[in-house]
Amino acid sequence: MRIKMTCSAFLTMMTLGLALVSSSSRALPDTARAAGKPNVVLIVIDAFRADRIFASNHGKPVMPVLAAFAKDSWQFTDAMTAEAWTKPAMASIYTSLHADAHGVQFGTQYSSDDKNAPEHADALPASIPNIATILQGAGYDTIGVQTNPHLQARFGFANGFNRYTVMKASPGILVTPAVLGEIKKARAPFFLYVHYFDPHTPYLALPPYNSAFGDMPVLPPAEKVLLEQHQEEYYLDFSRFCLGLTATSKFPPLSDQGRDYLRHCYDVECRLVDDQLRQMFAALAPLAENTLIVLTADHGEELWDHGELGHEKTAYEELLHVPLLFHHPSRLPKKADATPVETVDILPTIAGFLGLPPDPGWQGVNRMQAPSGSALRPQFSQCKGAFPGFPRDFDVVKSGSDKLIVDRKKNTDLLFDLGQDPRETRNLATAKPEKTAELHKLLETHSAQMKSRLQSLPHESGALDEETKQSVKALGYLAK
């Protein structure tokens, strides 16, 4: 659970929130077999909007370090995540399988037959090859530094890692020292996966980053107490009300100042992450010629773009459009690439860069071999929620500038032309029935393929301990 940060809170979190999991069931890297292979660093920024890389706040760049890094990288400007929340989205990055294929969907499950049955959650099966097991098998020292409570070892996300450190919901200023320590002791070649929790809710404004864009916005007195001291409670209540899980909201709607305050806090957290990246890039600089760096997000974040806050609840671009950067100083281009891509492309592209054979089961493609430019390739995503019976269910297909959102609960369609309407404000489904039908056909074919693949793969679950239940509840994921 994220809390209002003080010096004592930092010490408490360091004591209570740090766990080290060793994947002792697998052999240590075969350094002879891995000789000459580049290191791989995968950085995931949780709940990170693609538009914040080059954004400004009061005339000051939000993320100057990342902006410079992006300009020096192969930057895909049209990348789509596989899901609107972390667990299935990360399982897709791990495996190059879409969410409806790997089946790792829910963060919390309740037995409908036995009220006393233990609560459990979907887990990533050990039998499905993932990025860590593949690189470990290729002789890599595999290291994970994790912060999201949905991605613990008990849910299969430590499979293939020699070391997997879990720092539940910790801010980046606590995570980066652990990352720098791992870089120092890593055996070459290494695979390092770093997951920053910032700027996930609640949006904190930790010093000194809270002064990065001038003074913090002034709040009305009642909202000052609410957003500075009870933001988690506000977000959970707001989310449940938006989803229809509660008939009334406990808190009145935020004022314009309140909304601006939270948007400002989000930018403050982005600046905090930017400073962590500066430190990490500096530590990796001596290894630059032998290191591939990949940076992305599990999903974006809605900041009232369509009337809601956070993620998991809608399927608009502020949630599904994510950054995707591949960086190597001499082997990769430095350009902005508008080719439509998906996060399931990350694993095949890394494997291609390393010269590893592709897996025929992967659903993504190696972007170094795929055609570049604006060649059309349908992109697929979804928003199914974190628990069974989630009150929203969206399937998404995008082809070129046309995007179709199918609301499975209401049996309605939303069609947008992102070229003319990037903010998704004009539904063209009725006005363009032929385009709607065309995209429906793409989506139904994709869904049928995913269902067939899901039936051929194993399913596992992991028990939820009380600490994890309380952590994810505070983040707005539990149904009760």
Q: Is residue 14 scored above 60 in pLDDT? A: no
Residue-wise pLDDT tens digits, 381-398: 999 998 888 999 999 999
Residue-wise pLDDT tens digits, 296-348: 999 999 999 999 999 999 999 999 999 999 999 999 999 999 999 999 999 99
pLDDT at 53: 98
All structural domains of the chain with their residue ranges: 7-378+467-474
Is there a contact between 53 and 209 (Cβ–Cβ < 8 Å)? no
Q: Is residue 451 scored above 60 in pLDDT? A: yes
CATH architecture of 7-378+467-474: 3-Layer(aba) Sandwich (3.40)
Residue-wise pLDDT tens digits, 268-285: 999 999 999 999 999 999
Q: What long-range pairs does 344-347 form, CB within 8 A, spacing at least 24?
A: 344/82, 344/92, 344/93, 344/96, 344/97, 344/98, 345/96, 345/370, 346/42, 346/93, 346/96, 346/131, 346/294, 346/296, 347/93, 347/94, 347/95, 347/96, 347/130, 347/131, 347/134
Among 109-118, 312-321, 400-409, the minimum mean pLDDT is found in 109-118
Among 10-14, 338-342, 452-456, the minimum mean pLDDT is found in 10-14
pLDDT at 2: 46
Residue-wise pLDDT tens digits, 58-87: 999 999 999 999 999 999 999 999 999 999
**pTM of whole model > 0.75?**
yes
Mean pLDDT for all residues in the chain: 89
Q: Is residue 27 scored above 90 in pLDDT? A: no
pLDDT at 389: 86
